[in-house]
Amino acid sequence: MSRLPASWLSGANDELTIRSITATLVSVPLRRALGTSIMRVTEAPLLLIDLVTEEGITGRAYLFCYLESVGHAAIALIRDINDVLAGAVASPADVRRTLEARFKLVGPQGPIFFVLAGVDMACWDTVAIAADLPLARLLGAPLRPIPAYNSNGLGLTEPVAAADEALELVAEGFSAIKMRIGRPSAEDDLAAVRAVRAAIPSDVALMVDYNQALSANAARDRCRQLDDEGLYWIEEPVRHDDYAANAELAALLRTPVQIGENFAGPNAMSESLHRRASDFVMPDVERIGGVSGWLAAAALADTAGVEMSSHLFPEVSAHLLAATPTAHWLEYVDWADPIVREPLRVVDGHVTPPDRPGTGLVWDTDAVARFRRG
């Protein structure tokens, strides 16, 4: 395999030139519906990004848009970005600077920030493919197995149904699973947690996720009620950016508090770490700023000595966690499996980054046509 020229990392490379950046919106049915305290999710609106170079290399990434309407708005942003970047050097650093300047007056937030992260991911994929290296190796890391937890489902169902589904998740080869909580009644949440904990083997880790369902006052009582239930972590019990309330809970509870999927860039994560708002962190590559943002976040977690997991996007996150000094857990979802040629494999509860150039993402064109929206 070829080695990456130092000029790639400095942003000085002039070997690859962007020809076009395009996006396709698909809506992929979930194998299991996901009921959260915010909404019930039955399909995943995914925005597929293709960065094509004049030299014939295509870098790919996808975004989870939550709503189809967000995906359609993102396509318009991609068209604007294509006009700006066509003919530019395919360097992540240069592309980032160009796009930050382009959207400075508007403010790189919300869907704009997501789209910039997607372009960054596609750009890094292009760089790694050009170097004939998997992304993890490009970042100086071995293709090592990352422990993964199964996050495919286990929403707000009745206790018996939750226990049955939990067993299905474990049977898919995992030693850790996550369930959503945040029912109107604390007693109902407790009953569901106890049913799941009793059903699964004692050595299987159980994470729970409130999806920001609680007020600060309610969280004190409800999280303490769960403190003796053998949970691995309690995720986002209160509003994600209420660092004071999260820090209070982290200090109060024996069960670790986990936040981070809503960090809007590394600066937000830096503030959270400074405030000791959680025991663990779990950035989302779409919200943290793509591969570039993740690398900055990983350095912050390393400096703070805080274990760092991923949120969604397992295809890219497996590579990034392999290069993360305090790597913890990969959140595994199979949402993109129907539209990629070679889905990730889970072996003994672990996911290893594929030994293919880039992230390994290649679209199944027939499936994309079948699930396309607009």
Residues of the chain with pLDDT > 70: what percent?
A: 96
- Whether 118 maps to a domain, the answer reads yes
Q: Specify the pLDDT at position 228.
A: 96
Task: Please state the rounded mean pLDDT for residues 272-301.
Answer: 98
- Whether 287 maps to a domain, the answer reads yes
Average pLDDT across the chain, whole number: 94
- Whether 372 maps to a domain, the answer reads no
Round to whole Å and give the CA distance between 275 and 303: 15
pLDDT for 76-95, tens place per residue?
999 999 999 999 999 999 99
- Claim to verify: residue 226 and residue 311 sit in the same structural domain: yes
Cβ partners under 8 Å of residue 13, min gap 6: 5, 7, 89, 91
Q: Specify the pLDDT at position 255.
A: 98
Residue 66, domain extent: 6-133
- Claim to verify: residue 202 and residue 115 sit in the same structural domain: no
**Last residue in a domain, options 84, 104, 133:** 133
Round to whole Å and give the CA distance between 225 and 181: 13
pTM for the model: 0.94
Is 186 a residue whose pLDDT tops 50? yes
Q: Specify the pLDDT at position 161.
A: 96
The CATH number for 308's domain is 3.20.20.120
Q: Which residue has the higher pLDDT, 41 or 35?
A: 41
- Claim to verify: residue 255 and residue 342 sit in the same structural domain: yes
- Claim to verify: residue 90 and residue 193 sit in the same structural domain: no
- Whether 167 maps to a domain, the answer reads yes
304 CB burial (10 A radius; 0-12, 13-18, 19+): middle
Question: Where residue 35 falls among pLDDT bands split at 50, 70, 90?
Answer: confident
- Claim to verify: residue 219 and residue 335 sit in the same structural domain: yes
The CATH number for 93's domain is 3.30.390.10
- Whether 374 maps to a domain, the answer reads no
Tally of CA atoms within 13 A in the half-sphere of 195 that contains its CB:
20
- Claim to verify: residue 20 and residue 158 sit in the same structural domain: no
